[in-house]
Structure 1
Amino acid sequence: MFNIPTVTNQYSNLIADKINHKTKPLGALGKLEQCATQLVTLFSQNVADEDAFKTFTPSITKPTLLVFAGDHGVAAQGVSIAPSDVTSQMVANFVSGGAAINVFCQQLGWQLEVVDCGILHPVTAPSVHDCRLGSITKPLNTEMAMSTMQVQQGFDNATQLLQQLSHNGCNTIAFGEMGIGNTTSAAALMAAMLNLPAQQCVGKGTGVSDDIVKRKITVVEQALRLHKSQLADPITLLAALGGFEIVHITGAMLGAAEQGMAVVVDGFICSAAAMVAIAINPVVKDYLIFAHCSNEQGHRLMLDALNVTPLLQLDLRLGEGTGAALSLPLLQAALGFYNQMASFADAGVEQVVS
């Protein structure tokens, strides 16, 4: 479905040798060394040979963060403290520059774009991409959230967006989301994919009461029973349990990998999309950088199941792509030390032996 190039490690020895000969003890920069290795590996896929690689200076170009917004019919099932109207209100806030993600992107150098995947009240603005699959999904505990045709349309929308961004020079992408009720959808996807009980996957989302958490668990259990026959295939799984924004994020991760981009994964909802993307095409995992572990209950279990270690642990539970946005300085620092830090030989320093 997505033609994602296999990531080759043709220069892995050269990358490791360069990192290990910097003026520091072996491994002293910890996760930054892992980040540097992954980024340099991704960005050097089209470098012709070892001679060209030795003069290659990898860099992050035109980093872009897309916030995908969608409304969920399940929100009317008593699973959130806020009504679906808030999704459109927050999209308007993104457009006017007043949200946390606006502040972080402006501070840190991301280009921010907003995508309407299907919200109740469309926000008309030049900066909002119209990728609407409808105005709201169906309640996932009573019927299919959407059709498989809508899933495919969402993938097509996302692929076109990523092709355009790549054409414009972006090589590093991150995704955020906005959608009242979407932690319920993500928890259902997690429970289905990891074969876990709903109570291990459902959390407090925006900060709901214990009674609402119990209601969310019941709703997820109902959805899993209702759609039991639809859960093995990732496309019908998304149609049954997903959201319009989750579908787009899944497709965008796959589409970005097709373009050879580094993909920064945000929190609980985006990690659920990543699990689906990996189920569709496992090669995509090599392109993913997991930004943070959120404060949503199931996220740590999800990251453990994916066998990945996030860069940050800040107890965030906002969404919007805020955790992904905050990771950019670390990624830039990783490439910064790789490109600019002196080697022992360059600096005339006796090599440290660990």
Structure 2
Amino acid sequence: MTLEQTISAIRPLDEKSMTAARNRFANIAMPLGGLGLLQDAIVQLAGILGQPVPDISRRAAVVFCADNGVVAEGVTQCGQEVTATVAENMGRGESTVCLMAKQLGMDVFPVDIGVARPIKSEKVLQFSVRRGTANFAHEPAMTWKEALEAVEIGIKMAEMCAEKGYSLLIGGEMGIGNTTTSAAVTAALTGAEAAAVTGRGAGLSTAGLERKIAVIEAALALHKPDSNDSIDVLHKVGGLDIAGLCGLYLGAAAQRIPVVLDGVISCAAALLAVRLCPQSVHFMVAAHRSDEPASILLLDALGKRPFLTAGMHLGEGTGAAAGVALLDLALAPYREMVSFADIGMEAYQPQK
């Protein structure tokens, strides 16, 4: 589907299934709201999937790999050649998210959506829009048409996952320099100062961080991205991986598949998606709060409370994978626990 068709296909959650899930929680033998945010997420999953007892046993991670021309400005600790190396490592199933996914029975689909050099792996899906973005310190990151194409590749990946029968998705990314692009996107969307949303990424020095902030400030002043137009923001200061994630989240919502959000880059993509279609936010579950400074701002903008605050900032979808593990743990008692009636005990009642 096109972006426009995808947005028009997104519908509200199933209230009957959500009510049934809430009633189930009220009747099983545990304190009211005892599972906290995990309980809320299970109710949300019920509404997305239309199942009072949601089945998320078929799950997949879609990881978009892309390079960013802005690394030429010295905003990273290493060169963009690392992106291709890690993408090929994913193709072998040896990256961090692949090893975590193996423990969760989760399939991983690495996608080359814009790595600077061709990937030498048959297991990395080839959907390259261009070989890395331009340096947005001097020119727009990509054309408007390329930004839209990258978003629609993300939509296509969600459709592929739906056809394969997956009932839960996580989105991940790999791209040297993408904490710079995500900070620029966050500042463009929220109006926040670049210094407030820019972090050290993979370990920049203080001088490197100051240079990174200055590059973002100059790019925003040069290009003046429209905060009300997600494609314009992507075109001017975005990344192809972020665009792919944005499309994945919209496509998943159209296919009625829940998505578990990862860290700051994932959440920047999610906010782009929500600006395109506010209804899509109801299909997103927040896994964790990243150590990057923009994380709290993005989660607040999305209206999300994450399960974890563990200081994670690895990317690839690893924080989202940890969130899926917690959902599995919470679903076990939800599915199997006895009711208050079964044990001859009065149910807890809400107190004023």
Normalised by the length of structure 2, the TM-score is 0.94
Matches within 5 A, 1:314-325: 314-325=310-321
Structure 1 residues 58 and 12, CA gap change in structure 2 (3 angstroms)? closer
How is 1:180-191 mapped onto 2 (pairs within 5 angstroms)? 180-191=176-187
Q: What residue number does 1:276 align with?
A: 272
Unaligned runs of 5+ in 2: none
Structure 1: 5+ residue stretches without partners? 48-55
The question of whether the paired residues in 2 share the 8 Å contact of 1:188 and 1:220 is answered with yes
Q: Per-residue deviation at 1:110?
A: 1.1
Q: 2:224 aligns with which of 225, 228, 244?
A: 228
SS at 2:65's partner residue?
strand
Cα RMSD after superposing both structures = 1.5
Q: Are 1:62 and 2:58 an aligned pair?
A: yes
1:39 aligns with 2:45: yes
> 8 Å contact 2:26–2:347 — kept in the other structure?
no
Q: Is the 8 A contact 2:225 2:232 kept in 1?
A: no
> Mapping of 1:22-33 within 5 angstroms?
22-33=28-39
| Counterpart among 111, 116, 133 of residue 115 in structure 1 | 111
Question: Which of 340, 343, 346 is 2:339 aligned to?
Answer: 343
Residue 20 of structure 1 is matched in structure 2 by 26
Kindly provide the CA deviation profile for residues 291-318 of structure 1, in whole angstroms up to 9, marking residues without a partner as x: 1001112211221222210011110111
Q: 1:149 aligns with which of 137, 145, 148?
A: 145
Structure 1, residues 132-190: CA drift from partner, whole Å, max 9, x if none?
A: 01111011121110011111211222222211210111010001100011001000111
Provide the TM-score with structure 1 as the length reference: 0.93
Q: Deviations over 1:66-85 (max 9, x none)?
A: 11100000011110001010
CA separation of 1:230 and 1:257: change in aligned 2, threshold 3 A: same
Alignment counterpart, residue 301 of structure 1, candidates 291, 297, 300: 297
Q: Percent identity?
A: 34
Which residue pairs with 1:7 in the alignment?
Answer: 13
Residue of structure 2 in register with 1:134 after alignment: 130
**Match of residue 51 from structure 1:** none
- Distance in 2 between the 1:313 and 1:109 partners? 24
What corresponds to 2:98 in structure 1?
102
- For 1:50, the equivalent position in structure 2 comes to none
Q: Distance in 2 between matches of 1:229 and 1:184?
A: 15
Q: Is the 8 A contact 2:188 2:226 kept in 1?
A: no
What is the match of residue 262 of structure 1? 258
SS at match of 2:135: coil
Choose 338-347 or 289-298, whichever is displaced more. 338-347
